[in-house]
Structure 1
Amino acid sequence: MTTSTLASIVQTVADNIPPTKATVTGKVPSWLRGGRLLRVGPGMFDVGDRSSFKHWFDGLAMLHSFEFAEDANDVTYTGRFLETSVYKKSKAAGRLVGDLFGTRSSATTRSDPCETIFGRSLSQYTPSTPGRGSDNTNVNVLPSSSSDKWIALAELTSVWQFDPVSLETKERVHIVGSNPELNRMITMTAHPHAASDSGMYNVGLLPGARSNASYYAIFKTDASEKYASELVCLLPAHDGLSYYHSFGITDRYFIFVESPLKLALWRAARSRDVSFADCMYWVHDKPSRFRLVDRKTSKEIVDVTYEADPFFCFHHVNAFEDDANGRLVVDVVSYPNGKIALESASLEELRGGGEAVECDFRRFFLPLDATGVTKVESEVLSDRYALELPRINYESRNGRPYRFAYGLGLSSPSRTFHDGLIKLNTETKETLEFFEENMYASEPIFVEAPDPKTEDDGVVLTVFLSGNPDEKKPFLLVLDATSFEEIARAEFACRIPTTFHGNFLPAARLPDSPSIS
């Protein structure tokens, strides 16, 4: 039996990957035809001989398109680097120019702190020119307010627009613009939530400087081409700033988890050897707090303090109001130690084979009639399977009661990286699974069928990467979302690097744009 290695999926791709047609087995559903799966992730982990990155989250952004032919049972893959400033400058210099999540650049000096990943934090949060700073948006891709552009995001205050058909890089847009209430913001999540009027909600970090307090800012970005943003609510930080990656939303509430994974940004300001990731530390004896904001009043609910045992989550799965029991239900992928979770994604760790990190799919219950300090009860919905990079039927179930979640899973406790997918029934805790030997799975994307009859009426799309590139080829998998059985797979005779997040662009929403060539 062959042995897979994680190192194979975290190696640098030297250049763009030209259109490559797949060998398809099975039959792609007709309603997927003409659409494409778009994803983004790290494609380059070193530049020249002098710049080797330290963390999985550092890799320079690469866009990926899996195009379903309109009139045939064909799939074509294309990979193209996002031509960000840090990418172009680093390629030209033959070394990293600009700071990344876990790697600081020797080419970035104190004399120009705005070229760092969080330049404002390293210059004592003095407001700088909007749009400057690191722009390596390698975490997520979403349709933008304009039908002919998509945006690539990371935990940065600017996004890159790109053409979803050609993958051509377009414009960089600074989300907070000139809004004086937000001009101290140095990060925002790469997981905004859709607003009912086609805008989007997000959470940003406003660090204090000198006598200023630190805040988390919930803000709304409109649906115009200018991406104008307005403040919804400021949440004062408790016990120092916390690192976070996502947040929750329901019809009535915004849900923000303030975990004991804290940020000491002053460390990076004092030393050129300290990255943003190095500024994080875990406070094991501090609780995690759930902060609720009433969407109608745009004010935090302050007569209750919801506390849970210490945990960190990269990803909120969903949340909803359980009116029958007078409570708010919040589902997350929970880690008992956030610092360990982040360190497990270092390139040294992954290339060394990786190590399984404890986490579970956990449901928290917040009583809405509570006052004062309230201990939040929770229930594990799945402990064997982490269900990381979780997805749901977002369009019909986000912020509402739901039954099904899809995520990455481990075929056995001895596995150190996700080698398959899990479908979880949140009501019965029953699971369906799909695993592939010596392969590594990517985030599952649920695509709803036309005229759906049930919540899980549709398909799940994922990309499996090879742990043995010389022996097994990567492939796009199409699963029946209801039965979790294979419908089709498209195998590619080229290398495909790892990705983080993505979304499906149906044919009906394709812009009038030149094809990839």
Structure 2
Amino acid sequence: MMERRQFLKNALNATTLVGGSAVMAKAGAFPLGAASANMSVGSLAIDTLAQNQQYYKRFNEALKVKPHLKAWEGVTADISPTQVSWQGTLPSQMHNHHFYRNGPGLRVRNKTRYAHWFDGDGLVNQFALHKNGVTHKAKFVETEKYRREENAGKFLYSSSGTRIAHAELAKSPQSISQANTSLLPVNGELWALWEAAAPYRVDAETLETKGEQAFSDALKGVPFSAHPHIDRQGNIWNFGKVSLSGQYAFVIYHLSAAGQMKQFKLVNTPRDSYVHDFAMTERYLIFYLSPLIKGKRNEVYTESYSWYGQKEGRVFVVDKNTLEAVADIPTEPGFVYHFGNSWEQGNALVVNLCWYDDAYVFKTAMADLVGEQAPNVKSRASQLVINMTSKTAQLVKSPHGMEFPMFDAQFVGQKTQIQTGIIRGSNPANPRYNTVASYNTQTDNMDAYEYGENVYVEEPIFVKKQGSNKEGEGYLIHTYLDFIKDQTGVSVFDAQHVADGPLATATLPYYLPLGFHGTYV
């Protein structure tokens, strides 16, 4: 049986049969992602310790006058079951279902605090939905990193966006996984996902961590990214980003609905761009390679990337049948976190995405939560139209800001016109994401509900109405944080009448840290 390093070395030396597919690439050594030089000696470690202590104090002082920072305050322990009642009426088809969310939960240990939004051990929140109310509980994903640091009583490793004094050298990306980004329901379990490591399996009922998801010895420790996509047959598609001595590649994953490997393949890419998500049509996987490009490895992962605005963006397309790259198309420079539904239209691919004009949100706005340096930076609901005959791509930007785009999953890979997400509020002087919205890309109509200036809203999940085959007919469920009332709430909307307000809301007697992504089962 082949280990990860040997698999990658073989694949990049010669043609290797992998999962039934041939792989061609060049030789090299496998870097350890966020891991880098040991910070445990010298003046640099002393300086970093002072910076850690300073940021911890700075955050605590800022929290007294900036209550919105409660969104990133974090929690320090699992949360026991708490039951609250609905205000309004929950649709009957949602009785006895579960809504889950994942995100950075534990953000401080031993008077050291993470500074970047990406950082924090994964906290899985379960909201059990019943006719009369919601039962909430939450539990940390017990990754290798979490267990080691829990025993030590301090952070042992530098993280995605925060340098930690006296940090240990990580053995691999898996050893520093925070499993804090999203959740994939598979075979009655939840897979807690992070960008640069394999999933952690979580019991969907108890939230107990069951261990790492193992695909094969060859893929042990190879990244399985945090945004898998599911096709109409239920198959799971994903990628993992690897680089070997200057050769950059994606591992493309094709799994069954039960999480069993169908095929995988290493596909070379033209540059080492930061890639968070991708798009999928019936026949293709589509990646946007921004000019946010990785350079010299850095102990802090986000600091490894630099923005090259003079370079073009690139649209990289992989055929789902052969797992071969079939297009590498130059387009305008920009930055994308999240994609919506995408489809084939004649010889074109139409890709919904949330477009930033540059990577300021990645490099600066999310890097210092206390400073809140870029409140007006926003992504726009946009479409990328790719001509597969002429190998050209055109970006069509809407005037509407949107993030965390979702859609009616029964139409995945088919032409749709409705996407849901979150948008900024109407006050330009205080433009927080406090609004849930449904956007019709054909009519340009925005159906939105704004909570108020003291609220952050989180990604709404679309739940289709039972028996419906009409796009957009269903419900939206999401969480929100009211940082003045110190409450987190769960709300359910009629997806076709968002502006009318929630059908049902349940409010917890405490507040939770903002997360990233969730799922409904």
TM range (shorter): 0.7 to 0.9
| Structure 1 residues 367 and 354: alpha-carbon distance in aligned structure 2, compared to 1, 3 A threshold | closer
Structure 1 residue identity aligned to 2:364: E
| Secondary structure of 1:165 counterpart | coil
- The answer on whether the counterparts of 1:47 and 1:96 sit within 8 Å (CA) in structure 2 is yes
Structure 1 residue identity aligned to 2:516: F
Q: Is 1:7 aligned to 2:69, yes or no? A: yes
Q: Is 1:388 aligned to 2:403, yes or no? A: yes
Q: Which residue of 2 aligns with 1:420?
A: 435
- Identity of matched residues, %: 24
Q: Residues 439-480 of structure 1, C-alpha deviation per residue, up to 9 Å, x if partnerless?
A: 110001001111015211111001110121xx3532111100
Q: Residues 256-296 of structure 1, C-alpha deviation per residue, up to 9 Å, x if partnerless?
A: 111111012x332xxxxx40011010011111111112223
Q: Distance in 2 between matches of 1:174 and 1:98?
A: 24
- The answer on whether the counterparts of 1:20 and 1:494 sit within 8 Å (CA) in structure 2 is no
Runs of 4+ in 1 over 6 A off after TM superposition: none
Q: Which residue of 2 aligns with 1:343?
A: 364
Q: Which residue of 1 aligns with 2:297?
A: 267
Q: Distance in 2 between matches of 1:55 and 1:354?
A: 14
Among 209, 217, 222, which residue is 1:178 paired with?
Answer: 217
Q: Which residue of 1 aligns with 2:251?
A: 217
Q: Is 1:278 aligned to 2:314, yes or no? A: no
Q: Which residue of 1 aligns with 2:464?
A: 448
| Secondary structure of 1:6 counterpart | helix
Q: Distance in 2 between matches of 1:489 and 1:138?
A: 26
| Structure 1 residues 76 and 354: alpha-carbon distance in aligned structure 2, compared to 1, 3 A threshold | farther
- The answer on whether the counterparts of 1:7 and 1:352 sit within 8 Å (CA) in structure 2 is no
| Structure 1 residues 33 and 254: alpha-carbon distance in aligned structure 2, compared to 1, 3 A threshold | same
Q: Distance in 1 between matches of 2:334 and 2:297?
A: 24
- The answer on whether the counterparts of 1:57 and 1:101 sit within 8 Å (CA) in structure 2 is yes
Q: TM-score of the superposition, structure 1-length normalised? A: 0.83
Q: TM-score of the superposition, structure 2-length normalised? A: 0.82
Greater displacement, 89-98 / 336-345: 336-345
| Secondary structure of 1:89 counterpart | helix
Q: Is 1:432 aligned to 2:447, yes or no? A: yes
Q: Which residue of 2 aligns with 1:135?
A: 177
Q: Which residue of 2 aligns with 1:329?
A: 350
Q: Is 1:319 aligned to 2:342, yes or no? A: yes
Q: Distance in 1 between matches of 2:430 and 2:341?
A: 27
| Secondary structure of 2:171 counterpart | helix
Q: Distance in 2 between matches of 1:217 and 1:453?
A: 35
Structure 1 residue 407, shift from structure 2 partner? 0.7
Q: Is 1:401 aligned to 2:415, yes or no? A: yes
| Secondary structure of 1:254 counterpart | strand
Residues 10-49 of structure 1 mapped to structure 2, 5 A cutoff: 10-49=72-111
| Secondary structure of 1:267 counterpart | coil
Q: Which residue of 2 aligns with 1:94?
A: 153
| Structure 1 residues 405 and 234: alpha-carbon distance in aligned structure 2, compared to 1, 3 A threshold | same
| Structure 1 residues 229 and 338: alpha-carbon distance in aligned structure 2, compared to 1, 3 A threshold | farther
- The answer on whether the counterparts of 1:261 and 1:339 sit within 8 Å (CA) in structure 2 is no
Structure 1 residue 85, shift from structure 2 partner? 1.8
Q: Distance in 1 between matches of 2:136 and 2:370?
A: 26
Greater displacement, 34-43 / 90-99: 90-99
- The answer on whether the counterparts of 1:341 and 1:357 sit within 8 Å (CA) in structure 2 is no
Structure 1 residue identity aligned to 2:443: T
Q: Distance in 1 between matches of 2:313 and 2:349?
A: 16
Structure 1 residue identity aligned to 2:119: D
Among 154, 174, 197, which residue is 2:194 paired with?
Answer: 154
Q: Is 1:190 aligned to 2:205, yes or no? A: no
Q: Is 1:109 aligned to 2:168, yes or no? A: yes
Structure 2 residue identity aligned to 1:141: L
Among 486, 495, 499, which residue is 1:481 paired with?
Answer: 495
Structure 1 residue 152, shift from structure 2 partner? 0.4
Structure 2 residue identity aligned to 1:320: W
Q: Residues 356-397 of structure 1, C-alpha deviation per residue, up to 9 Å, x if partnerless?
A: 2132111111112215xx3x222123x23x221111112x12
Structure 1 residue 403, shift from structure 2 partner? 1.5
- The answer on whether the counterparts of 1:134 and 1:156 sit within 8 Å (CA) in structure 2 is no
Structure 1 residue 229, shift from structure 2 partner? 6.9
Q: Distance in 1 between matches of 2:81 and 2:118?
A: 26
Q: Residues 401-446 of structure 1, C-alpha deviation per residue, up to 9 Å, x if partnerless?
A: 0111111111123334301111100111111111111111000100
Relative contact order (C-alpha < 8 Å, sep 6+): which is higher?
1
Among 483, 488, 493, which residue is 1:467 paired with?
Answer: 483
- Number of aligned residue pairs: give it: 453
| Structure 1 residues 6 and 190: alpha-carbon distance in aligned structure 2, compared to 1, 3 A threshold | same
| Structure 1 residues 11 and 430: alpha-carbon distance in aligned structure 2, compared to 1, 3 A threshold | same
Q: Is 1:289 aligned to 2:314, yes or no? A: yes
Structure 1, unmatched stretches of 5+, are 119-131, 269-273, 506-517
Structure 2, unmatched stretches of 5+, are 1-64
| Secondary structure of 2:176 counterpart | coil
